[in-house]
Structure 1
Amino acid sequence: MNETAYDPQNIFAKILRGEIPAHRVYEDAHTLAFMDVMPQGEGHTLVIPKAPARGLLDADPASLAAVTASVQRVARAVKAAFSADGLTIFQYNEPAGGQTVFHLHVHILPRHEGVPLKRHEGGMADDAVLAEQAGRIRAALDG
């Protein structure tokens, strides 16, 4: 197996350290959830572990369990905040698997019947839109 080491300079590690801003929606001792800046749909949210992990295969099992619990909690709020008919939740590993940021992360997308996902490379979202969407998710988490 050809594994590459974790790079602590990846963009999500920088978000965790506060070096790059993000629209945060949820945080606990082990995980952080924030808005994807290149969303494939309204409400596209990411959940990451605070512990360094390149992907699913090198993550500590306890960290992976914390991510899964946070994904469930945030996904419920995302679904409610966007009155979604369903959810798409996915996670990529390594370039051949579609991964482009090499810090373990799980995508949460609220889905509505008949509305296709946009391409992930579709460009950066408007900051004000992301801020509004993050607020909706935070309100659903608190409610």
Structure 2
Amino acid sequence: METIFSKIIKGTIPSVKLHEDDLCISILDINPVCKGHLLIIARDPYPTISECPDETLGHMMHLAKEADKKLRAVLHCDGTNIMINNGKASGQEVPHLHIHVIPRFEDDNQKLGFIKTTYAEGELAQYGERLEF
């Protein structure tokens, strides 16, 4: 399935490229949470992390680390969010594996939108048993 990222990788849609190699491409997000928000995109259109080979995923995480260093050095951000939205229910809008690296500043007024939940008595242990890997 061709995605907007496939078109960016092919060059049919313009982008501001920050890095390019055999496995990945990195671009500035055109709808940034904060200025400098970038994406690291797998060249092959793996829909989610489960389909991505370990070599590619490991390389993407290495690039996320390098992007974090660059954002801190150049933009002097106070931190970064490094995120993968994995599947539609998680907020993934493009079914093509990508990592968001978002520079964060103490005064940026951005908040992640999670509402925390709780476990009923004994439920935490049950989940632990079921999810062990």
TM-score tier, shorter chain, comes to 0.7 to 0.9
Structure scoring higher RCO (CA < 8 A, sep ≥ 6) equals 1
1:117 aligns with 2:119: no
Moved more, 89-98 or 109-118: 109-118
1:17 aligns with 2:10: yes
Size of the aligned set, in residue pairs, is 112
In the TM superposition, what is the alpha-carbon distance from 1:118 to its structure 2 partner?
8.1
5+ residue gaps, structure 2, are 113-133
Following superposition, which runs of at least 4 residues in structure 1 exceed 3 angstroms of deviation?
none
TM-score by length of 1: 0.73
Structure 2 residue aligned with 1:141: none
TM-score by length of 2: 0.78
Structure 2 residue aligned with 1:4: none
Structure 2 residue aligned with 1:69: 62
5+ residue gaps, structure 1, are 1-6, 120-143
Identity percentage of aligned residues: 30
Q: Distance in 2 between matches of 1:13 and 1:116?
A: 33
Q: Distance in 2 between matches of 1:12 and 1:25?
A: 14
Structure 2 residue aligned with 1:53: 46
Q: Distance in 2 between matches of 1:44 and 1:117?
A: 13
Letter in 2 for 1:112: F
Q: Determine if contact 1:40/1:118 at 8 Å carries over to the other structure.
A: no
Letter in 2 for 1:79: R
Q: Which has the larger radius of gyration?
A: 2
In the TM superposition, what is the alpha-carbon distance from 1:29 to its structure 2 partner?
2.0
1:42 aligns with 2:35: yes
Q: CA RMSD in A?
A: 1.6
